[in-house]
Chains A and B, each alone.
Chain A
Amino acid sequence: MNEEIAFWILSAIALLGALVAVRKRNLIHGVFALLVFFAGLSGLFLLLLAEFIAAVQVLVYIGAVGVLLLFAIMLTERVAGDDDRRMTSRGWFWGLVVALAVFVVLLLPAITSPQNQQLSSPEAAQTIKPSVEELGKKLMDPYVVTLEVLALLLTAALIGAVTAAQGVRMPKEEDSPE
């Protein structure tokens, strides 16, 4: 009962956020609406007792991606961020059809699978071990090589980004005391 109420409220928040994010022409408003959507999604994860994913959703999507988007807007020329015209697009009908199709394809297995009808969420919580602990053990034991390779890849990307952003370096001026 309580979970259902929370589910509907969170879904409404997420849907509204997503809708505003798409419809708003004002970029900054759009970004913040997108963040509201992420927050709603994180609440939904929390409702499914996946608290680690909820925390990471907040940490990565709201904390990092949101700030990245805002930085991108700030560093882009000729985007003032405040244009209040409504967004209209000619292909909206086909967009809607594609979105609905994806939705149905994603939802069908979830509805038709027999497992989901048996296990209600509190029971599932009792049978599944705490997620963070299990995740940590899995990452540190069977998947440790994958983790290291991923970390290396990300570091390489970081260094690459810094190098690309620095551009061509000017020849250094002599700065001796004399």
Chain B
Amino acid sequence: MILVLIDILIATVPLMVIFASLFAFTTWLERKALARIQNRIGPNKVGIPCTRISLFGLGQPAADGIKMLFKEDIVPRGADRLFHLLAPILALIPAMLVLCFLPLEFPWTKSLLPVQAFLLDGAVIFFFAITGLNTLAVFMAGWASRNKYSLLGGMRAVAQMVSYEIPLVLSAVIVVMMVGSLNAAVIADAQTGFNWFVFSPWGFAAFIIFFIAALAETNRSPFDLPEAESEIIAGYFTEYSGFKFALFFLGEYIAMFAISGLAVTLFLGGGDGPGVTMNLVDQGLATEAFPGLTVIWFLMKIFALIAVMIWLRGTLPRLRVDQLMGFAWKFMLPLSILNIFIAGSALHLMAGDRLADLDETQPVLRQLMEGANLPVVAGLWIGALLILYVAAKGLNQLNRPNVRPREYKYAE
């Protein structure tokens, strides 16, 4: 009993500590990067206390954290006190919970391998199921605050998350088709040796769709309508202050890490990289040059995706509500369904007459690539890319807004 508890702590505490400290670092990185994009300097004063060392402002997250802790916690008079308290907690829990479905194997968890959550047969489904709970937390916050703007933000968030979950899941289906398993470790294992799924045309398209939908799922700019400060103040957390607000912030960033981690697992090879060989068959997730190398590769890939998110936030303006919904239902959804068709038919054509003697326990794509006719594969891949490109262009053309050129009455 005690031993089980200790094992649970060994497996979970490092995840929470590592990702929470990465959160602190990311807030600094984001402020710095956004500042450079906007031709500012960003935080540069706070460093080691009581000295004049500023370390490029790296002490800023700690200062922010302390500030949040000591701020007054204000609950509006009309608010539902219980739900107002529970919402930030409910926002954080699912984000933290899904981290255990990422195939991260720390050196100290090697002995725990058979009981790791990412080895569940439905790890990917679990991931999507639990990320969906975030919607409820946002709604809860919006409703409990008893504020029109909060409620508007909550409703926007629910509509947006529900819409973008569909392309998110449909693009993950592609990977499941190529592997033949929902187990996160098996998916990472199937991409060993730079056979990342992002390098196949349908995988590439799915990765782009997944990334855009992930931006919308985590309420990142340009999809940050639920918290659009120029329209509805701060959306669902208008009425939150102090540490409750910090919890929302933390939950949002942890969700960002989690969904980037899933993107890395599904499309970018998980912990694969130079010096690492994934082999689930032997003990452990991977053979690595030195312990912890897979984790380092994994986190570096996550950070590459986070950097793109920050870059997009500094570059793109926010969408309008109708543009947001139209983009999800009229562009992303048809494209991801088409992508599934393309992937299915391409895999079928690659298999040819070998379809019957595929080994069910091995990854599908790897088996198909072994002994495949190279010109046929190349033709298929170029054809798939062409179809996807034409489809994306066509959908874009169909979704053109029907607006006239603006008439200037007095300015001619």
Contacts and interface: CB of A to CB of B under 8 A. Distances in A.
Given A82-B80, A177-B405, A70 B139 contact: yes
A1 B1 contact: yes
A85 to B, nearest CB: 16
Chain A contact-residue range equals 20 to 34
Contact of B132 (A59, A82, A175): A59
Contacts of B143: 28, 81
Given A58-B133, A62-B133, A66-B136, A177 B404 contact: yes
B140 A2 contact: no
Q: Is the interface of A mostly helix, strand, loop or mixed?
A: helix
A74 interface: yes
B158 A70 contact: yes
A94 interface: no
Contact of B136 (A29, A56, A62, A130): A62
A55 B125 contact: yes
A70 B159 CA distance: 11
Given A56-B129, A74-B155, A132 B136 contact: no
B281 to A, nearest CB: 17
Interface in A31-60: 32, 35, 51-52, 54-56, 58-59
A58 B130 contact: yes
Interface string B51-72: 0000000000000000000000
Given A52-B122, A175-B402, A59 B158 contact: no
Give the interface size class of chain B: 20 to 34
B133 A63 contact: yes
B57 to A, nearest CB: 40
A59 B143 CA distance: 22
B109 to A, nearest CB: 20
Interface in A61-76: 62-64, 66-67, 70-71, 74
A52 B136 contact: no
B1 A58 contact: no
A133 interface: yes
Given A63-B133, A175-B402, A133 B140 contact: no
B259 interface: no
Contacts of B120: 51
A59 B136 contact: no
A131 interface: yes
Contacts of A29: 83
A67 B133 contact: no
A101 to B, nearest CB: 34
A62 B135 CA distance: 10
Nearest to B86: A32
Contacts of A52: 121-122, 125
B400 to A, nearest CB: 13
B59 to A, nearest CB: 39
Nearest to A133: B121
28 contacts: A1-B1, A32-B83, A32-B136, A35-B136, A51-B120, A51-B121, A51-B122, A51-B126, A52-B122, A52-B125, A54-B126, A55-B125, A55-B126, A55-B129, A56-B125, A59-B128, A59-B129, A59-B132, A62-B129, A63-B129, A63-B132, A64-B132, A67-B136, A70-B139, A70-B158, A71-B158, A81-B143, A130-B121
Kindly list the 8 A-B residue pairs having the minimum CB-CB distance in the complex, ordered from nearest: A63-B132, A59-B129, A58-B129, A132-B121, A55-B125, A130-B121, A55-B126, A132-B122
Given A28-B143, A51-B126, A175-B404, 19 more contacts: A1-B1, A2-B1, A29-B83, A32-B83, A51-B121, A58-B129, A58-B132, A59-B125, A62-B132, A63-B129, A63-B132, A66-B136, A74-B155, A81-B143, A82-B80, A130-B121, A131-B121, A132-B122, A175-B402
